[in-house]
A and B are shown apart, each in its own frame.
Chain A
């Protein structure tokens, strides 16, 4: 259950582009055509799906406080979390190099159309951000880390797909000259982000009704607890 909840949460509520603005540089630069946007989005999903669980393992068994205890008791107090940045970015750079080799082998046309942006995935804030958020939210298991990675990737993919489709359409609209291109993209992204905020109540909608019923019961419980407390105080004073 928590997998499904985390999956939908990372696509809609904590969307990497619209909630936390990660990966904006390549998002703005590659979104002129839908076909390149789809290719880059798929690459980002794959890289996130691989790097977030890998970095989770790194964090769990090497970087966290007390993580090194599997080496021996004397290492239990080491806290290497200050090295997280370097280690995370090293795994990410390696994985992206791997993806680049695979894409070049299996789809040379995609490789050529993505150009410089494929190696730039390594410095895409979305990838490092995914790992850092995984670390700061203390995701408890590797399965959840994988769900979080795939979900975040799909969220980013949704965002770049949407903005590419919109940009292709507004090429024929009467946008003021000074807003053409970059300016209108910013404003449209802002409006989409406001739209995505409407998903905020998606996973908590059921809780509000539940709160009303227990209020009456809570009052009754309070009085019972007060009675018990009085009895206990009375007992203690009697004993004293």
Chain B
């Protein structure tokens, strides 16, 4: 990490835990909940958001001095929509089944609050390299939560990780299933994602007492 200054590494490290976009900034929740039933979908969504946020931050930062203030939301929307169209077409071409699972949520990256939030908060006031780092940092923070939720939901819900049966075979009763363990099908249903994120927030705020809200 010798080529990044201290301030720059802070741009990547802060959004991982202390300023996490989902649990602290409360942005980007919609897609974090709906598609995390499989770990693979979570990973692909995180990579897509990283692409859109990183590149989008750079483009907006390069244009920041020529965008008139009154139409800046429209300009931001157009930039994001174009990048998401590219992601959507790439996914449809190279990972068709996955794009069917993700269905409309790839399109909903456009309205993912993290992207517009970072454009407004950072890219409009900073240079391209730092905006790129900020975008990557926030996308990694977002990805961490998505992968954590997807990990637990897939492991406890279907006993697999990325499709590989890690707890044994449920039909032939090998591995953990031989002791009577059954998959918790509830975990595959969407409400459990909300509860898992609630628990992650609980753990995070117990560790970092400064984040606790006053009544």
Contacts and interface: CB of A to CB of B under 8 A. Distances in A.
Interface of A: 18-25, 28-29, 82-86, 89-90, 93, 119, 122-125, 127-129, 132-133, 136, 171, 176-187, 189-191, 193-194, 197
Given A191-B191, A193-B190, A197-B189, A186 B110 contact: no
A21 B34 contact: yes
Interface stretch (B10-18, B73-81, B161-169, B177-185): B73-81
A132 B190 contact: no
B89 A190 contact: no
B190 A19 contact: yes
Nearest to B86: A82
B108 A25 contact: no
A119 B23 CA distance: 23
In this complex, which of A20, A136, A197 has the most chain B Cβ atoms within 10 angstroms of its Cβ? A20
A186 B33 CA distance: 11
Interface in B169-215: 189-195, 197-199, 201-202, 205-206, 212-213, 215
A20 B107 CA distance: 14
Given A25-B30, A86-B85, A93-B77, A182 B107 contact: no
In this complex, which of B34, B107, B190, B205 has the most chain A Cβ atoms within 10 angstroms of its Cβ? B107
Interface in B12-56: 23, 26-31, 33-34
A125 B111 CA distance: 5
A28 B26 contact: yes
B116 interface: yes
A93 B195 contact: no
Contact of B195 (A127, A182, A187): A187
Nearest to A16: B30
B206 A21 contact: no
A183 B82 contact: no
B111 A24 contact: no
B191 A193 contact: yes
Nearest to A124: B111
B103 interface: yes
B113 interface: yes
Contacts of A191: 191, 195
B195 A183 contact: no
Given A86-B81, A89-B77, A197-B191, A182 B30 contact: no
Contacts of A89: 77, 81, 110-111
B104 interface: yes
B84 interface: yes
Contact of B108 (A129, A180, A182): A129
Contacts of A133: 104
Contact of B85 (A25, A85, A128, A189): A85
29 contacts: A18-B191, A21-B33, A21-B34, A21-B194, A23-B30, A24-B29, A24-B33, A25-B26, A83-B85, A85-B85, A85-B107, A85-B110, A89-B81, A93-B77, A123-B116, A128-B110, A132-B107, A178-B212, A179-B205, A182-B213, A184-B198, A186-B197, A186-B201, A187-B195, A189-B194, A190-B191, A193-B194, A194-B191, A197-B189
A235 B199 CA distance: 71
Contact of B215 (A83, A123, A171): A171
A21 B111 CA distance: 13
Nearest to A83: B85
Contacts of A18: 191
A136 B198 contact: no
Contacts of A128: 107-108, 110-111
A186 B34 contact: no
